[in-house]
């Protein structure tokens, strides 16, 4: 049920299929999954479902879109996901899309009414719930590198994306989820995409790449902008001295 009517473009409702790594058009919602919905203005989407306190969903290796349980305003702490095998889901790499700013937002808290990107390092099951009373949204507690350089990429239409590179004595040459962030799939609304191309064995498109201090730090940044140029900027004070 969409309110106001004719505001939701039903022909632009997508689910992400991790088996093929692509968005798929859908004509009905399935409990446990998250979706992309195109709205021409602010709107309310109401779905009729049987109330559940928790659910279990099968995840594929890589990125998966999931939904959330509970009444409006309820939350779940996702710092330590309830997965099987344990350690399959990387709680520090969980995102939701904020349409107000047109960007992904890193979070450690799931809220009812939202969809989320969750990262699995292998096929597994994930149990979500039970939900609790609303609490402030949290941000994953990633370790702080010895040196860090945030990068801002923007186009002349107001789209912005952030990447981060850095170095630490406490990380390895392979991906380290205590520091690194894997880039989630590009949103259907993105005007351009950018990522750090890493030489890891898997998950080599990164939003944040922290390298060990023992090696020379070199980062390859890939930008794909089919229509507009993209400006890369940084704070000169962050450059190593």
pLDDT at site 136? 54
Query: Is residue 159 scored above 90 in pLDDT?
Result: no
Q: What is the pLDDT of residue 58?
A: 95
Q: What is the pLDDT of residues 23-80, one digit of tens each?
A: 988 877 887 888 888 777 777 777 766 667 788 999 999 999 998 887 777 888 899 9
pLDDT recorded at residue 169: 94
Phi first, then psi: give them for residue 79, nearest 5 degrees: -60, -40
**% of residues, the chain, pLDDT over 70:** 90
DSSP states along 124-179: EEEEE---BS--------PPPPSEEEEEEEE-TTS-EEEEEEEEETT--SS--TTT
- Per-residue pLDDT reduced to its tens digit, 92-136: 999 999 988 888 999 999 988 889 999 999 999 999 987 766 555
Return d(Cα 107, Cα 126) in angstroms, integer. 17
pLDDT at 51 (0 to 100): 65
4 or 157, which is more confident: 157
pLDDT at 155 over 90: no
Kindly report, residue by residue over 4-29, the tens digit of the pLDDT. Answer: 444 444 557 888 999 898 998 887 78
**Of 1 and 89, which is predicted with more confidence?**
89
| Mean pLDDT computed over 143-149 | 94
- Per-residue model confidence as pLDDT tens digits over 164-216: 999 999 998 889 999 999 999 988 878 889 999 998 777 889 999 999 998 88
For residues 128-155, average pLDDT: 82
Closest CA to 172 of 145, 199, 129, 211: 211
Asked whether the beta carbons of 130 and 68 are under 8 A apart, the reply is no
Residue with tokens 């850095």, as numbered in its chain: 166
pTM of the model: 0.86
Per DSSP, 237 falls in state G
């Amino acid at each position: 049920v969409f309110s106001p009517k004719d505001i939701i473009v039903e022909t632009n409702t997508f689910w992400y299929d991790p088996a093929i790594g692509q968005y798929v058009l859908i004509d009905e919602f399935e409990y446990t999954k998250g979706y992309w919905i195109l709205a021409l203005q602010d709107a309310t989407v109401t779905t009729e479902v049987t109330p559940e306190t928790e659910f279990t969903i099968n995840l594929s290796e890589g990125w998966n879109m999931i939904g959330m349980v509970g009444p409006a305003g309820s939350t779940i702490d996702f710092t330590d996901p309830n997965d099987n095998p344990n350690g399959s889901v990387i709680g520090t790499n969980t995102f939701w899309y904020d349409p107000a700013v047109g960007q992904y937002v890193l979070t450690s808290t799931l809220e009812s009414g939202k969809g989320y990107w969750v990262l699995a390092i292998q096929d597994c099951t994930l149990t979500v719930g039970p939900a609790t009373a609303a609490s402030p949204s949290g941000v994953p507690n990633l370790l702080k590198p010895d040196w860090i350089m945030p990068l801002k990429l923007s186009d002349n239409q107001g789209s912005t994306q952030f990447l981060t590179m850095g170095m630490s004595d406490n990380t390895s040459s392979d991906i380290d989820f205590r520091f690194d962030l894997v880039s989630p799939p590009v949103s259907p609304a993105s005007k351009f995409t950018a990522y750090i191309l890493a030489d890891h064995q898997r998950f080599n498109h990164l939003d944040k790449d922290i390298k060990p201090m023992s090696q020379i730090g070199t980062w390859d940044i890939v930008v794909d902008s089919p229509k507009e140029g993209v400006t890369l900027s940084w704070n000169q004070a962050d450059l190593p001295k």
